[in-house]
Amino acid sequence: MKISIITVTYNSEKTLKDTIESILSQTYKDYEHIIVDGLSKDNTIQIVKNYESKYNGKLKYISEKDTGLYDAMNKGIKMATGDIIGILNSDDIYASENTLKIIADKFKETNCDGTYADLIFMDEETMSKPQRIWKSAKGKIKNGWHPAHPTLYLKREVYDKIGSFDLQFRIVADYDFMLRMMKDENIKLEYINEVLIHMRAGGTSTAGIKGYVKNLKESHKALVKNQIKHPYFVDFKRIVKTLFQMILGLYKKFEEIIMYLIMGFLATLVSVGVKWGMLYTFLDAENGFHVQIAVVSSWIIACTFAYFTNRIWVFKSKSKKIFKEFCTFMGARVFTLLAEMLIMYIFITLLGMNSDFWVFVWTIVAQVVVVILNYIFSKLFIFKKK
């Protein structure tokens, strides 16, 4: 079962090597790679020529003017001779060396017309940091669902039946194609519950807010063209889903900092709760000495709480020297407490900025400095992940 892989290029010298090596590393060898270049002005074609001998006759390429991405894809589909056709963008890579084998096995096992899977959006610079995952799973068109197109591999008969990409769409011709395909109930698709593609964030349809707005407008046009019921409702569902994925992606990207701030807030609540609990149960809130006892006790308990929550849920320390780690943590907290006191002393006492407004300002500044210092100390010097 031969697989045709189509890659469209235009000035792709920075990323194409990774894409090519991803294909050459595949354990499944019954494939052809078709590169359709739009007259690149950089070294794209030279890179293709440098790798040509490694394909052992499995490479086809052309370099000529086209009207855009989807025009080039249509050319690649016409050139394809494989039983199955898939598209691997010039800045994307396969998730593993077994990706093509997994796809071929699914076709053989199920006799389906097409397969699709999950993909991960990776950082644009290094392709090593996951930004968010696209779980294709299963769904319905009316709910705004569609497979991740870079993971979609179809029998060539599907293209013969559904037709080529509609060039009136500059960004979402793939979405329009999938709508046409999914409306045909006789086309059998199988979901592969694995990540098969690593996609570089920042492409034509993923480039920031402006890119998303353009994507949304064209997507709505595709819905109307394909007579999908309640297109605005479908748009709304897609927006909600995308926002959720973006929020989840941001959380994963900044998980450590977010968890650190949450645990810091909880430690503050513990401190306040302990202090007021002591003063209004067995200590006298009018007694200055008792107040000091409550303040110191609540600080120690809150710091202890912060230590264990930071160790377990934030920095996930693997160190077995817990007592030493705890003492270092408490020492750092004493240092940052002194730093906070020093800031307040300099600006409020020495510089005389003691009005209510400036006291409030420097209190906030001091707290921010403490939070930053505690995070730096914890990450760099206290908690060890190995």
Per DSSP, 27 falls in state: S
For the chain, percent of residues with pLDDT exceeding 90: 74
Give the residue with greater pLDDT, 86 vs 124. 86
What burial letters (b/e) apply to 130-163, b meaning 16+ CB within 10 Å?
A: bbbbbebeeeebeebbbbbbbbbbbbbebbeebe
pLDDT band at 217 (very low <50, low <70, confident <90, very high): confident
pLDDT band at 205 (very low <50, low <70, confident <90, very high): very low
311 plus 376 within the same structural domain: yes
Range of the domain at 149: 3-253
Q: What are the strands, taking DSSP E only, across 174-294? A: 189-200
Contact between 187 and 114 under an 8 Å Cβ cutoff? The reply is yes
pLDDT band at 118 (very low <50, low <70, confident <90, very high): very high
In CATH, what number is assigned to the domain containing residue 164?
3.90.550.10
The sign of the CA dihedral 367, 372, 375, 381 is negative
SS3 assignment for 290-328: HHHHHHHHHHHHHHHHHHHHHHHHHCCCCCCCHHHHHHH
Give per-residue pLDDT as tens, 140-186: 887 888 999 999 999 999 999 999 999 999 989 999 999 999 999 99
278 plus 240 within the same structural domain: no
pLDDT at 249: 73
Q: What are the strands, taking DSSP E only, across the chain? A: 3-9, 31-37, 59-63, 84-87, 93-94, 114-122, 130-134, 153-155, 189-200
pLDDT band at 257 (very low <50, low <70, confident <90, very high): very high
Residue that terminates a domain, selected from 253, 273, 302: 253
208 plus 290 within the same structural domain: no
On whether the pTM is more than 0.75, the answer is: no
180 plus 275 within the same structural domain: no
Residue that terminates a domain, selected from 232, 253, 274: 253
269 plus 158 within the same structural domain: no
Give the residue with greater pLDDT, 233 vs 181. 181
Residue that terminates a domain, selected from 222, 253, 284: 253
Average pLDDT over residues 23-43: 97
Give per-residue pLDDT as tens, 270-291: 999 999 999 989 898 889 899 9
Give the type of residue at 150: P
In whole angstroms, give the CA distance from residue 22 to residue 54. Answer: 13
